[in-house]
């Protein structure tokens, strides 16, 4: 009796096997990015539909430290993806410090040495007011 290898699956070279883990990791990375981007997208749409604001601020830490680190480590892909979804909007990572009366103050453009002494939060800001 002969084995029908087509029913089992395609042949795969040693080189392809060596790359499978990194390909799977990259696929999973993009799926995670997509899920977070979808959440941000839906929230931006809701703000635009139902509120007077023309800006949305997303706090990466709200989903926990692991997700916050993931977003910061992949910030270029997040920005590029959001720019595809919201062309002509201003999309940036901005640094905020807690000011008076628990108001967050944008300190993105202050001196780096001063930033080191502050308790900063990095946020994604999408602004469609322009």
Residue 79 is predicted with a pLDDT of: 96
Q: Which two tokens stand for residue 65?
A: 């430290």
Q: Where are the beta strands (DSSP E) in 17-128?
A: 55-58, 90-98, 104-106, 120-127
Q: Hey, how many other C-beta atoms are within 10 angstroms of the C-beta on 65?
A: 9
Nearest Cα to Cα of residue 41 among 73, 86, 93: 86
The C-alpha atoms of residue 48 and residue 44 are separated, in whole angstroms, by 6
Whether this prediction's pTM lies above 0.85 is answered by no
pLDDT in tens, 85-107: 999 999 998 877 776 667 777 76
Among candidate residues 55, 44, 40, 46, the one with its CA nearest the CA of residue 125: 55
Q: What percent of the chain has pLDDT over 90?
A: 65
| Each residue's pLDDT tens digit, 62-89 | 888 999 999 999 999 999 999 999 999 9
């Amino acid at each position: 009796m002969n084995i029908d290898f087509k029913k089992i699956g395609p042949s795969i070279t040693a080189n392809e096997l060596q790359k499978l883990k990194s390909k799977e990791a990259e696929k999973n990375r993009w799926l995670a990015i997509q899920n977070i981007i979808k959440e941000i997208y839906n929230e931006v749409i809701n703000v635009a539909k139902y509120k007077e604001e023309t800006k949305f601020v997303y706090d990466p830490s709200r989903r926990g430290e692991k997700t916050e680190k993931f977003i910061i480590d992949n910030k270029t892909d997040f920005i590029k993806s959001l720019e595809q979804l919201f062309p002509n909007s201003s999309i940036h990572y901005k640094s905020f410090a807690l000011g008076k009366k628990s108001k967050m103050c944008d300190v993105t453009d202050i001196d780096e040495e001063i930033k080191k002494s502050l308790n900063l939060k990095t946020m994604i800001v999408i602004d469609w007011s322009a």
